[in-house]
Each structure stands twice: as structure tokens, then as C-alpha cells.
Structure 1
Amino acid sequence: MLARLAVMLGALLWGTLAIFVKKLTYYGFTEMEIVTIRVTGAFICFIPIAIAANSKGQMQVQLRHIWYFIGTGLFSIAFFNWAYFTAMNMMSISIAVMLLYTGPAFVVVLSNLFLKERLTGKKLAAVLMTVTGCAVIALSGDNSSGNWTLLGFVIGLCSGLGYALYSIFSKLALRKYNSMTITLYTFLIASICLLPFFPFWKKTFGLPLEGWLYIVGLGLIPTVIAYLLYTTGLSKVETSTASILATVEPVAAVIIGILLFHEQLYGGQLAGASMIVSSILIISYERKTKKELFL
């Protein structure tokens, strides 16, 4: 029970990400600067954890495998965060988070193409349901009173693609390294590549205390603490079950958008969102069923 609660709490903290993005945007930070703040803050927080875990040299990696972490750090973490934050600022939080959650459908397709995983009927149905859900959201855009744009919609879909790429690259990396090593080097590579080009600290001079609290909070609450809670729960909960429990993230994000930022979720958007969430449940059930067959 505690493990499931940890997974849900981690997902709920991910759902609070919109608060930090909106507030830091208000203080003049661009989306890429906010991404840089997040990955750098996370890397700094993970350093002591990595030192503690390095008793047997587990944090050492071979240079020829660095492309794994370029994939997870740049092509996934940096890319999907930028796309997600941009979509969030261009449209509503509700739409942005639902488009982010097209990630599992992208995983199904990419896993079939690059990891040669079998595309079952249930997986195909989930992908089609995701596509249909996105189409419904897109078609309802004209009636959403300015919280939908075509460019924002495309960028939102890119966040789902970037989110999916982490699963692909990390699955390749897991053949050689553990999850903590992958996480550390993911944020290290992202920080090294982003810091020279997005010097967010130049905007911190004269920043009020509230702004600093949001900067620190971004690295801790929806990033490090959320990750630690989720992975702690994941160690005692099936992956399929955890992915179902994690759907509280979009629910939390939608509620935050409505209550704190006075956003509205229209009928077509709600219907499309329901299809996307349902597709996640189908994919999760598929994984659970497969695992039970081998028990």
C-alpha cells in the first residue's frame, strides 16, 4: 500500500510542474531557460545520491556508450521539457499535459521499429485511440476560446515524442547500466549542453525571494523528490500497475489549470483527453497480461 502511495505521490508532484513553469515565465524566463534550471537543479541534487551509490564503481560509464545519455539527455529530457513548457504557455495546461501523455503510444510504435517488440492488437488499438483522441482535441480547437493553436498542438505532440524517446534510449542503456547511473548522466549531459547557451542566472539578479523559491522548487519538488518517490514505489509495484497509478499526473495538472489558472476544459477536449488516458490503460493492461503469462 505504501509503495502504491509513493508512486501516486510522485506522479502528483509531476502534475505540479505547471505551477513552476507559469511562475518562472512570469518572472521573464524563457522555456529553454526553465528547462536548463530544471535539469541543472536535478543534477546538483543527484550528485550526493550518486556518490553514495558509487561504492562499487557503479557510476562509471564507458565513453563509447555516451550516445545513450545524449539520447536521454538531449533528444528526450531537454527536447520534451522544452516542447511541454512551450505548449503549456501557448495553450492550456490541460491540453499540454494530455498531448504529453501521447508518449506511451509513441513508445509502442518506436519500440516496434527500433527494439523489434511485437505490435499486438491491443497495442495497435491503444495507438489508434490516442490518434483519435488527438484528432478530437484538434477538431475542437476552434471552439476553445483562444487556448488552442495549431503550432502549440504540434509542439505538444513533440513533447509526447520526446517523452517516448527516453524509454527507447534508456532501455538500450539498461543493457549496460542501472537506472541511477542513467538518470545521473542524463541530467549531466543535458546540463553541460544547455548551460552555455541558456545562462538563466543572468536573470536572477534582483529576482525576489519568491522567484528563487520557484527556481529551487522546480529542481526539487516536481523533479528530484517526484523521481525518488516514484522509483521507490516502482521497486515494489509492477511497472504496469505503476503506469496506471501515474495517470493521476494529468488529472492533477488539469485540476491545477482549472483552479489556479482559471482554465476551461471544453467538451471536445475532455472527450479527446479521455481517449488518451484510456489508451494508456490499455497499454498498461497489455503489459500486465503479458507478465502474468510468464508467472
Structure 2
Amino acid sequence: MNVRSMLKLTISMAIFGSIGFFTTQTGLPAVELVFVRCICATIFLGGLWLITGGHKTEDWNRSEVMKTIVCGIFLVLNWVFLFKAFEVMSISVAISIYNLAPIFVLILGSVFLAEKMGIRSICATAICFFGSILIIGIESFTSVSQFMNSGFIWALLSAICYALTMFTSKTIHGMSSYALTYIQTITGIILLLPFCDFAAFEGLTNTNWLYILGTGLIHTGFVYYLFFDSVRDLPTVIVSVLVFVDPVVAILLDALLLSFRPDLLQVLGIVLIFGSILYTVFYPKQTINKVKTSSSQ
């Protein structure tokens, strides 16, 4: 096991767990905040790339560059959808739904890599979705339109795009982490520029800008360098488990700093989501071990 990569991924997820709190303090809408994040990360990573001299030894491959651009599109959409979810629902609820991503990774594996999903995995997936319905407080909605405007769709789309980001990044091996993240943030700038409302930057306070720069330089530049530098060297199961550091930190900060107090059904929803995901992640490993044991006997 690559301990260094595990440590990098753990640190990146712990830092990213505070993104919800930072986002609520920036005073910017989702698209504009992600746009600034991409600019900050591009400058940060571009500077490190030049300082380390990595740009001189980069091994460029047309196929990998195209994959990186596609991965960058998924990554940017993931950010936008997540931040839009933060705008209309609590951080804990949005993050819990967002962390359905490992389930979607397994579904993608079954569709594109012919990895079979057993009955138990399918049941666990269904329980996850049921838990996500509970956690948004479905009993308080009186109409479909009210439910659709709750932020659930944004959080779900962010989870799907996060899964696509993880799934795609696993196929990129030849490029350095600097080049990988640099191309992705450049892609984000180009993608979001036509949709950015620059009037949103008027009237921001110094405190707002501190949080904005924090999300750009720390949560985007530094965190995603660590993320992509580690995720390629770790098994999918380990990655799926370590990403749970993110929601644990997010929910703790939401409870301690923003006074989030879940009701009984929301607590049940959180337990169902994370319990089912952990079961889905670990069960295939247990099955393989049983098969190996019986074969050896």
C-alpha cells in the first residue's frame, strides 16, 4: 500500500471538508465562485509547475490531454452543482448526497468495465437513494416543484459529476499532477467565462475576498494537486473509503460553526447513506477473500 499517497488523499479530503463553510462566507454565486477558483488554481499550479521545472520534462500525449479536458469539464460541473446545492440546503445534507459518488463509480464500473453488481450491491444502492430522500426532509414537501427546488437535484448532479471525475482520472497515467490539474482549471476558465456575471463581484468585503482566495488557492490549487497526485496510485476501494474524511469534517463544521441540528429522519438518512456505501465498498473485497479461501482448501 502506498502510505504517502494515502496521507496526501486524507489531507486533501480533510481540507476539502471545510469548503462548504468557506463557500457560505464568500458572498459569490456558484458560477462566479468556481470561475475565481479556476483562475487562482491555474496561477498557483502554474507557478509551482514553473518553479519545479516540471513543464520542461512533461510527456504530452494527445489522447491523455483530451481525457484530461473531459475530466476537467466533469470537475468544474461538479463544483458548480455542489455550490448551487450549498445555496439552498444545509452543508451536511448537500455533502451527504454528494458522497453518493462512490456508488456511482461502482455503477459506472458495471456499465463500462463489465464489473458485475450483485443483488446485495443493488439493494445497497437503493438504500442509499432512500437515505438521500430522508435526509432532505421529504415529509416537509407539499409539491413536486418544492422538492425539485430543494437543492436535491443539484447535490445529486454534483455526486454524478464527482464520480465521473474519479472514474475518468483513473484512466490518465502519463501526465504529472501539475499538468493534469492545470489543464483542468484552464478548461474551467474557458467553460465558465461566457456565463460569469461580473456584477456579482461588486460590494464584496475584505473578509469575502479572504474566503474567496482561500477556496481558490487552498481548496482548489493545493487540494486538487494532492488529490490527483494520490488517486492514481491507490486502489479504487481505498479511494472510496478515504473520501469519507471529507463529509465527516464537513458535517462536524456544519454542526459546530453553523449550528446544523438534524432531526431523527435526517440522522437515519445519513446512517443509511454512509452505511450502505461502506457495505458496498467492502463487500466485494470480502467476497474475493472468501473465494480465495475456499479455492485454497
TM-score interval, normalised by the smaller of the two chains: 0.7 to 0.9
Residues 240 and 189 (structure 1), Cα distance of their counterparts in 2 relative to 1, 3 Å cut: same
* Partners of 2:167 and 2:48 in 1: CA distance: 25
- What does the per-residue CA deviation read over 1:39-72, in whole Å, with 9 as the maximum and x for residues that have no partner? 22222211133343233232x342x665423422
- 1:148-163 counterparts in 2 under 5 A? 149-151=147-149, 152-163=151-162
Q: Which moved more, 1:49-58 or 1:207-216?
A: 49-58
* Partners of 2:200 and 2:88 in 1: CA distance: 22
Alpha-carbon shift at residue 231 of structure 1 (Å) = 5.3
Residues 236 and 165 (structure 1), Cα distance of their counterparts in 2 relative to 1, 3 Å cut: closer
* Partners of 1:175 and 1:233 in 2: CA distance: 12
Residues 8 and 248 of structure 1 are in contact (CA less than 8 Å); yes or no, is this contact kept in structure 2? yes
Residues 92 and 254 of structure 2 are in contact (CA less than 8 Å); yes or no, is this contact kept in structure 1? yes
Q: What secondary structure does 1:263 align onto? A: coil
**2:248 maps to which of 251, 259, 269:** 251
The residue identity in structure 2 corresponding to 1:219 is: G
Aligned to 1:127: 125
Residues 90 and 149 of structure 1 are in contact (CA less than 8 Å); yes or no, is this contact kept in structure 2? no
Residues 77 and 163 of structure 1 are in contact (CA less than 8 Å); yes or no, is this contact kept in structure 2? yes
Aligned to 2:212: 215
Residues 170 and 182 of structure 1 are in contact (CA less than 8 Å); yes or no, is this contact kept in structure 2? no
The residue identity in structure 2 corresponding to 1:85 is: F
- What does the per-residue CA deviation read over 1:193-221, in whole Å, with 9 as the maximum and x for residues that have no partner? 21243154x55455332122112101122
Aligned to 1:54: 55
Q: What secondary structure does 2:115 align onto? A: coil
Aligned to 2:237: 240
The residue identity in structure 1 corresponding to 2:23 is: V
**1:13 maps to which of 10, 15, 20:** 15
* Partners of 1:187 and 1:288 in 2: CA distance: 35
* Partners of 1:175 and 1:118 in 2: CA distance: 25
The residue identity in structure 2 corresponding to 1:21 is: T
* Partners of 2:5 and 2:81 in 1: CA distance: 31
The residue identity in structure 2 corresponding to 1:54 is: H
* Partners of 2:160 and 2:274 in 1: CA distance: 16
Aligned to 2:185: 187
* Partners of 1:286 and 1:131 in 2: CA distance: 19
Aligned residues: 282
Q: What secondary structure does 2:262 align onto? A: coil
Q: What secondary structure does 1:264 align onto? A: coil
* Partners of 2:120 and 2:55 in 1: CA distance: 41
* Partners of 2:287 and 2:190 in 1: CA distance: 40
Query: Where do 5+ consecutive residues of structure 2 fail to align?
Result: 293-297
Alpha-carbon shift at residue 98 of structure 1 (Å) = 0.7
Q: Give the structure-2-normalised TM-score.
A: 0.80
Residues 98 and 276 of structure 1 are in contact (CA less than 8 Å); yes or no, is this contact kept in structure 2? yes
Residues 38 and 188 of structure 2 are in contact (CA less than 8 Å); yes or no, is this contact kept in structure 1? yes
Residues 232 and 286 (structure 1), Cα distance of their counterparts in 2 relative to 1, 3 Å cut: farther
- 1:29-44 counterparts in 2 under 5 A? 29-44=28-43
Residues 39 and 185 of structure 2 are in contact (CA less than 8 Å); yes or no, is this contact kept in structure 1? yes
Residues 181 and 225 of structure 2 are in contact (CA less than 8 Å); yes or no, is this contact kept in structure 1? no
* Partners of 2:148 and 2:217 in 1: CA distance: 33
* Partners of 2:180 and 2:138 in 1: CA distance: 38
* Partners of 1:48 and 1:123 in 2: CA distance: 44
1:281 aligns with 2:278: yes
Q: Give the structure-1-normalised TM-score.
A: 0.81
Q: What secondary structure does 1:117 align onto? A: coil
* Partners of 1:6 and 1:170 in 2: CA distance: 16
* Partners of 2:182 and 2:283 in 1: CA distance: 30
Q: What secondary structure does 1:195 align onto? A: helix
Residues 128 and 276 of structure 2 are in contact (CA less than 8 Å); yes or no, is this contact kept in structure 1? yes
Alpha-carbon shift at residue 17 of structure 1 (Å) = 0.4
The residue identity in structure 1 corresponding to 2:17 is: G
Q: Percent identity?
A: 26
CA RMSD of aligned residues (A): 3.1
Alpha-carbon shift at residue 99 of structure 1 (Å) = 0.9
Residues 101 and 159 of structure 2 are in contact (CA less than 8 Å); yes or no, is this contact kept in structure 1? yes
Residues 264 and 198 (structure 1), Cα distance of their counterparts in 2 relative to 1, 3 Å cut: same
* Partners of 1:232 and 1:115 in 2: CA distance: 23
Alpha-carbon shift at residue 5 of structure 1 (Å) = 4.7
Aligned to 2:295: none
